[in-house]
Structure 1
């Protein structure tokens, strides 16, 4: 398997080396020309650590760094998402982008094609396990002998096979061939206790630990791999600017805030108990929920359930992604729905804007005649953004499911939006998405609203 992987990598590198800029203009396009144009075009990949759409807004660590770099140059940022690393190289050399804003492995083959620049990232593979196991977390790779480890085919499986040989055998390796299961799914299974061990890169592990705090990701199982941004060899001034910017800004507030947003801040909103149901109250905002729910024909207890799930009825809440207030509206959505600047944490403004957004979203799903069914799609879009739900509907239709039914149909494909086979499907227009959060959101909001209806009079 290792030999096959190395052969594939060599072929990729050779392909990249053969690609040449297709025009003299591309070959001579460097920092001065970028500044003259007023636009920096970056190439990247869809993933949880680089670039993705969240509730209609661009997100991702590499995206935010590229945006900060473009700002430092005094130009606007334009993002082009491509399918894989070889395509990054191909489109860069063809002049379709100025800079690869992605942690591209620094290999000899790639170095022959491009100049690496920016921050020199050191990555390695780690064992994903649980803290608080009945058995203490492993601290040495030799302890893997006799343990069951689950991995996806590719570099993780290759490394585990080599490690097993280095140890003289004994690791019980499970290669998960099922295309509907991703490495992030395996990480979730470790957190849930369904399996004990998985393997992934340390940056992906750090990001997932913000969702699952019971994970232990301290044990490295591979050598370090260097990675960085890249430009054409004919863009030395851009390369120098990117490297200088990284060196000077790694300790800046903006850079540190982006790093914490993706790799440190918990993605879980803490939840406490609701007010006593003895007096028929769910929250301090029940009158507002009743007032505005009428505008969209919703039961007010469903709207209250959204607020609880989003913010735990905390008007001061700010999520990792920057959503604010009682109803956790993203900044762009809040502005579009008329929330005055500085009023994002005002309960009534937040509810009023959320209801306006829900009403507009519901119109996008007007073909779903059943109101309760339509509400599930609206809730999914509230959590994920309309684009990802539309993608899941398109996938459901393509694979013979009912695109107008949520449970066991579209819901199955929102879960698959984190899988490359599905989010790179031509019917998907919005790329990678971590659908498990939306799947759980719809289930929790609906379930909690039913509890409210049983305990609280309308």
Structure 2
């Protein structure tokens, strides 16, 4: 997964939900992102990683665990890894001797393959520990927080489920590469003549995206971990969490490491025990991201919808002029500024599209006075069009992906994509 996929994951549904963060949340610069294609392959254990002063965390984009806001990376996994980085650097005074954790965003189904291939050192996601997976990798887990995998339905659907047996013959749409597939396949052994029709989602869709699809009536049934389902049920009014329909009960989740990295496993387990359920830090972090729904609900509020309505016609106007997708543009603007024309970044980026005045003045953009809302949207759209045409108008790049390349380049720079 490269920067295109990062942006696919963030922009698919950013128009429905906010990525605003809680007070005192850690943020890191966008430069801590390492696309997998520039990540050297190696399988070192902790001592050699310390010599490199670099640990690569494989992460999955998510509105709670790992996301980008205003050019910064945040989330529960980022917070946990930040604390782990501090523990690794305890007692080290010189900045150039400290170990840094960088982030390699990939799709969920690629976590273990990339780990085994040496493209990362920790698969830092909430991965359910299963027999099949433990044959491939080891896990660092505190084994204190148990997870139930629950059936989730659309409460307005005509489908009636009174027991797991009622899933027979029905289509269940689930996260690609997830343990839900393994556990649904085990259920299918119970009724082989009328199996559950397991549909794996496209690789860039998260469980959150799938629940949104369920909420909108696009699909009827999915399976999700209980803590995620219970959080999202607070802001998605049409989803029904079936606590009585459990696909797998009392499972454990953990971060994955290679089997030939015992030092890293031991060190991570020591750290995990400091942030596990029941510890002060562990409870604070979990509740900050999964115990409340305010940050998820922001874009569903009348105020946020009014922001969208207020600006959408201008985005349509300039998207049409430059033959771009206005929804992707407005999603980019929301990620950049929260649709706030008055925002000025520490680097001097201005307005709703967070454009530098020097970029707006460049001959390839040439739009004056970007402190004016319409000019800002015009300049940002024209710059996006320039990026797409100049750098990514290549027949070998799928038309769909050309725009995602441009979106990624808008933040990271075309040389880094």
- The normalised TM-score by structure 1 is 0.50
Which of residues 351, 354, 368 in structure 1 aligns to 2:351?
A: 354
Superposed displacement of residue 235, structure 1 = 6.0
Rg (Cα) greater in structure = 1
Q: Residue 72 and residue 216 in structure 1: after superposition, are their counterparts in 2 closer, same or farther (change >3 A)? A: farther
Pairwise mapping of residues 413-428 of structure 1 onto structure 2 (< 5 A)?
A: none
Aligned residues: 322
Q: Which has the higher contact order (CA 8 A, sep 6+)?
A: 2
Pairwise mapping of residues 96-175 of structure 1 onto structure 2 (< 5 A)?
A: 97=121, 99-104=122-127, 106=129, 115-120=138-143, 122-131=146-155, 133=156, 138=161, 140-145=163-168, 148-151=171-174, 156-157=180-181, 159-167=183-191, 173=197, 175=199
d(CA) in 2 for partners of 1:178, 1:100: 20
d(CA) in 2 for partners of 1:209, 1:379: 35
Q: Residue 360 and residue 215 in structure 1: after superposition, are their counterparts in 2 closer, same or farther (change >3 A)? A: farther
2:176–2:202: 8 Å Cα contact kept in structure 1? Answer: no
**What CA RMSD, in Å, does the superposition of the two structures yield over aligned residues?**
5.7
**Gap regions ≥5 residues in structure 2:** 1-40, 91-97, 308-329, 369-373, 409-413
Pairwise mapping of residues 277-426 of structure 1 onto structure 2 (< 5 A)?
A: 334-337=345-348, 354=351, 357-358=354-355, 360=357, 363=360, 367=364, 375=377, 378=380, 394=392, 398-399=396-397, 401=399, 410=403
Superposed displacement of residue 191, structure 1 = 0.3
Aligned: 1:212 with 2:236: yes
Q: Residue 164 and residue 395 in structure 1: after superposition, are their counterparts in 2 closer, same or farther (change >3 A)? A: farther
Q: Residue 324 and residue 257 in structure 1: after superposition, are their counterparts in 2 closer, same or farther (change >3 A)? A: farther
Any idea what SS the aligned residue of 1:126 has? Answer: strand
Superposed displacement of residue 52, structure 1 = 4.3
- The normalised TM-score by structure 2 is 0.54
Any idea what SS the aligned residue of 2:58 has? Answer: strand
Which of residues 228, 238, 249 in structure 1 aligns to 2:254?
A: 228
1:148–1:171: 8 Å Cα contact kept in structure 2? Answer: no
**Per-residue CA shift, 1:166-217, capped at 9, x if unaligned?**
2576566363687787765543221012332123444664565466344223
Q: Residue 89 and residue 39 in structure 1: after superposition, are their counterparts in 2 closer, same or farther (change >3 A)? A: same
d(CA) in 2 for partners of 1:128, 1:412: 34
d(CA) in 2 for partners of 1:325, 1:375: 10
Residue in 1 aligned with 2:311?
Answer: none
Greater share of residues in helix: 1
**Gap regions ≥5 residues in structure 1:** 1-20, 275-281, 284-308, 311-318, 339-352, 404-408, 418-426, 431-458
Aligned: 1:66 with 2:93: no
